[in-house]
Structure 1
Amino acid sequence: MQPIAAPLLQWFYANKRLLPFRQEPSAYHIWVSEIMLQQTRMTAAVPYYNRFIAALPDPAALAACPTDALRKLWQGLGYYNRVNNMQKAARIVCEQYGGELPADYAALRALPGIGDYTAGAIASIAFGLPVPAVDGNVLRVFARLYNDDADIMTPAAKRLFTQRVLDQMPKDTPGAYNEALMELGALVCIPGTPHCGDCPLRALCQGCAAGRADKLPVKPAPKEKRTVPVTVALISSEQGLLLQRRPAKGLLAGLWQPAAWESALTREQLQDALQKLGIPAVLGESLPPAKHVFTHRIWQLGGWQGTAPAVPLPDGYVWAAKSQLAEIYPVPNAFAAYVKPDADTPKL
């Protein structure tokens, strides 16, 4: 394979998107942006990034942020373990590195929630260290460049592709090179049918020459997701909406949600379940069916709305007033069909 850096970087400097974390590419800004972008599209992530940085401008602010306030900032992005790990890492950064992310790949890699790719992105872009940052975009680009049928999800293929990325890396501009590869994968060498006519590496691409760029990369068939029924009780009192805190570990750990059970309850069974909590609810209209897709499971949601007197609640439950729904309690997107994520009232 001929060197790709020169045409790639020329294209990148002429076509790169003007993103907020590129305007001020500090290690902290790159870190926050890369964690957000792990499971979120760029267009959706940018407003969250701007809001997050305005509220928590450095690792010290992130480390000190109250848990519910932090989750409220993250609300709408999902995969809350990302921000939980960020806070753990920020506290280590403050305790061990004086509040600044370390300019060392191994030290970055050792922080909670930071894997090979994120450590490589921070180390190369913020600190100019010659280390690769290989994500799905980069794997796709290199599978096509080399017309390689290897299953990119296997450790052996990832090691091979990472070495190829490193072999092509210009030692004086590793950060720009890594960013350019990511940008090429995001804008031109996209999943499915790539825009080969716009690609600065078209003349060097073996997959394009073979007429099979759209067949690459090779991935295993996705595993079938497990479907789980969820019955929701959207109960209101004069003090607000009934919310329940999820367990500290597991799916949506520690977040607040409308009272819900991971089973298909009848109206009578739901009423009995609420009564056992000491909540004498009167159920009304049924909730419209909804679906939320997680990485390994699918929630099929339904249930009933209702009313109840503002009785004292057991531990782990609260009556959330309208203002508290908007400002304090982070309700995950899984319940967006019933509770607006960023508004002060339930949808129903």
Structure 2
Amino acid sequence: MTSSTIGRVPIFQPGSLLDPYIKDNDALIEPAEDFTISINYIPHQLYTKYKSHYKAGEFNNNYFAILSQIGIGDVETPVLKAHYLSHIDEVSQDLETVWAENVAVVEDFLKNFSKNQKSERIYLSFSSFCQGLGSSSLEDVTGALREVIGYVGAAFPSLVPYTTLGKVALEGVNNIVKTILEPRFQPQIKTTTFAFYPTTKDEAVPIGEAPLQTGSYAFFFEPVELDNLWMDNKGLVSSTNGEEVSPYIVINIKKGIDLAPGQIEQNIATEVLETYDRLSGYPLTNKKKNTTYFEGLKELGKTIRIATAVERYFDLRTKGTSVSPAEAKRLEKLSAYLKETLGEDFP
């Protein structure tokens, strides 16, 4: 088998790593289905093998960070999320639990794609590096990120200013974001990137495109031969011939949503605010009023959820009998949600 940087096994099922470009009809995520992407396992080797590359311990680079970028459809700038941050002296074992495990929670995924088929994809990348926090302490930064996680289910660094620790954590978070985004720091970063494309059981998979389907995926930071690699049900990858395994991150893609509906609403609002703040440079809310901000986040999220639900409801209803089984289920779910939210008189 040719070298690859990603391998797959059916979710939570131990076995030999499979080529992610092979379509498994039973695992496909159908149009209008929900799915969740989460980090499952990070080996200690991702730090130890590359620590000189990260310049760990040099230039105050005393903190090991793991970030992801997720883009759906034709987004110009993927959303940046922080998943792990710790002092290099504390990175002493495999990271079976990260404090921000959700990478993406997607409802009714096909409505997120543009009509330009070249843009119909899930772009996903993971980056690891070492970093200095300036005048911010580790406790300041992780405390602020955890506060954001408590509201929206994932760490959005741009929202740290709105937390109670915003001011003291801001320099540390800005240093992290600067490192991941500025080209001059790229030589000190290890990144692995992949894209998934939606397809159906009846469609052929274009050459070189990986179908979006459930599974446990190992994202390797170096090309590997999948033939001799095995993943157990915890996400540990080993070699059947005793060779060293390249550093990797294991993610799970599974159907359904792991977060409560209230958190999903806030998550939608957060992505809107994060994008607005990034593009305009002017925050929508008063950073000094944290309670007001997060209450506003919930309300905006609820409004966006209702508006998108109404739009999608009528979009599917106009299809009549041509809707797929998955779309029919989505239409039924939307109808129940909108009747509960807007009243039984909703058509």
- Which TM bucket (shorter chain)? under 0.3
Structure having the larger proportion of residues in helix: 1
Question: Higher RCO, 1 or 2 (CA under 8 Å, sep at least 6)?
Answer: 2
Structure having the larger proportion of residues in strand: 2
TM-score of the superposed pair, with normalisation by structure 2: 0.23
TM-score of the superposed pair, with normalisation by structure 1: 0.23
